[in-house]
Amino acid sequence: MTTVLTSASPLTAADRCDRCGAQAYLRVVLLSGGELLFCAHHGRKFEPELKKIAAEIQDETERLTADQTSAPEEER
């Protein structure tokens, strides 16, 4: 089994949401040792569930709002 050492490396454009393939802004390190990537939309959507199974959640969604000054708020 691989132990995940969270080096908190920033997410890049190559990191893609596991659900929709959009650029990932959240990295979720699972208690089981795995890792999931989510875009801002799915990160928000699954946040309550993720908090139950995550050892750590790296949230870079604030970079989204910094990049896109006029980003419209997604429907929940």
Where do contacts with Zn ion occur on this chain (CB under 5 A)? 17, 19-20, 22, 39, 42
Cα-flanking dihedrals φ and ψ of residue 37, to 5°?
-120, 140
Least distance between Zn ion and beta carbon 76 (Å): 14
Q: Residue 14 corresponds to which tokens in the numbers above? A: 């190559």
CB-nearer residue toward Zn ion: 4 or 16: 16
CB-nearer residue toward Zn ion: 10 or 21: 21
Least distance between Zn ion and beta carbon 6 (Å): 21
